[in-house]
Chains A and B, each alone.
Chain A
Amino acid sequence: MSTPYRPDSGAEIRTGAGTRGGPGGRRARVGAGRGVPLPLLLPALAGLVFLLLPLTALLVRTPWRSLPEQLTSAEVWEALRLSLICASAATAVSLVLGVPLAWLLARAEFRGRGLVRALVTLPLVLPPVVGGVALLLALGRNGVVGQWLDSWFGITLPFTTAGVVVAEAFVAMPFLVISVEGTLRAADPRFEEAAMTLGASRFTAFRRVTLPLIMPGIAAGSVLAWARALGEFGATITFAGNFPGRTQTMPLAVYLALQNDPAAAVALSLVLLAVSVAVLAGLRDRWATVR
């Protein structure tokens, strides 16, 4: 980063925003006091560089010439399509189960709530591969619950697309729960209480008052969960295996391409990156208007 730090530049931006209110001269001085302090700016820039450097390296080393050839391969599109479908489905599952769970953690009083909250975040610290093994032990054909699913309903999750969704939801849901719970705790419960004194049931109050109130948190949580699900590798390959078109998502395709064709792996990573940036940027704009 070569942009030199100019205390005034921040002030100018502030004035620009503030000109609607009045003359710029006085506000510029106020703005100067609110410029970005150096002890914050330097680590912030270092952080930005740290996060972007590997991605830049990926771009630098991308085999641009063979890229079109990589991108026209049917397998790549199949993997990408599967990735998008599974990540979206996993986000939907996380929403349906995660928002009520977040509400429970934030609003309901019960013993051991702290413990439950810690348990909910457990998949965050669990290495994903371990998560995959745990899922196999629980929901596999021979698993604690899975053997009943198999013998009663004939449902086996491993090696199926549904298994991919389960693995991704397992890893991604905590992100949504944490995000929504945080927003719920910050939201004023008196709105709900007011609704209830006016005769709404607790569920109606949740649906009509709380839910619109915490929408930004839900949106942010969904984006986080979706992004996490899209990049999920360890739990997916362990629980759902790897079969093109059925369970081979982009991260799996990238990993296996890395084994004998690193150039192809880089190209594939780039596709995944481009698509996720496009989707996230698109969502971000919409989500900003919600705010």
Chain B
Amino acid sequence: MTPRSVQRTLRAGAGAAVLLALSACSSPGGSSTPGSSASADGSGNVSGPVTVFAAASLKESFTALGKDFEKAHPGTKVTFSFGGSDTLAAGITGGAPADVFAAASPRTMAVVSDAGGVSGTPSTFVRNQLEIATLPGNPDRITSLKDLTGAGLKVVLCDRTVPCGAATQKALDAAGLELTPVSYEQDVKSALTKVELKEADASVVYRTDVEAAGDKVEGVEFPESADAVNDYPIALLKDAPNPAAAEEFVAYVRSAEGRKVLTGAGFLAP
């Protein structure tokens, strides 16, 4: 992590200018909303609450970004709802009052945009690559995806219905491997938890999850993960209660500082 002071100077300087420029050119006339409690004056100063629905894998980095955003824009309050992208998408199409949606896959974003819930076009802001998570010290000496098929090894995978599981399947197909896990987990965090608790010997999760788990798991990169890189799209929502501040937040996520926090957490630049 970069020291706070450095971030602050960056933000005060070039960052703010970038934000202004971005929000100015991408504004689809949404900066003035009558009847909204939020305000946006000409200089891009926004206020009010911003509700962000974000994929579970963004938890650590978005929480940090939210704090930085609130500091840069006094008067704003960023609230997050982290969860499985599918669940979040279902919530948004069901009418949940969210401003921004950051999904872990284009497919889940399409659920919302197909229902006409997105303002503008969703754009990829990061990408995430898979990694094998093993027990600390890698006692089973796993070095490749093929090693996971070894007998006596307890492997948990994400279910194929969730983004990390779909990506894992793609990587396995690319490697021409058949892998029968002991369990298909409901999301990437529960797959990781099984390894953290040493109930499973290995799992295939995102690089960012391995990063976030610290020394509780050990990451092993594998070449086939290049065939299964996940794009993370972000979008301003059509029914956003606070579109001005929401737009500013999206711009902040996509800014140089935002990118720095995200790549620091293990994400790849788009």
Contacts and interface: CB of A to CB of B under 8 A. Distances in A.
Interface residues of A, number: 24
Given A136-B197, A142-B197, A238-B190, A243 B184 contact: yes
Contacts of B183: 159, 240-243, 247
Given A241-B185, A242-B184, A257 B198 contact: no
B198 A141 contact: yes
B191 to A, nearest CB: 10
Nearest to B156: A241
Interface in B96-139: none
Interface in A202-245: 237-238, 240-244
Interface in B63-105: 84, 86-87, 90
A242 B86 CA distance: 18
B199 interface: yes
B200 to A, nearest CB: 8
B151 to A, nearest CB: 16
A287 interface: no
Contacts of A240: 183
Given A242-B183, A242-B184, A243-B183, A259 B84 contact: yes
B161 A136 contact: no
B182 interface: yes
B154 interface: yes
A247 B181 CA distance: 12
A257 B161 contact: yes
Interface string A120-136: 00000000000001001
B34 to A, nearest CB: 35
B162 interface: yes
B255 interface: no
B211 interface: no
B194 interface: yes
Contacts of B90: 258, 262
A260 B184 contact: no
Nearest to B183: A241
Given A159-B182, A247-B183, A259 B161 contact: yes
A282 to B, nearest CB: 33
Interface string A252-284: 000111111010000000000000000000000
20 contacts: A140-B198, A140-B199, A141-B198, A141-B199, A142-B198, A159-B154, A159-B182, A159-B183, A237-B186, A238-B190, A241-B185, A243-B184, A248-B184, A255-B186, A256-B184, A258-B90, A259-B84, A259-B159, A259-B162, A260-B86
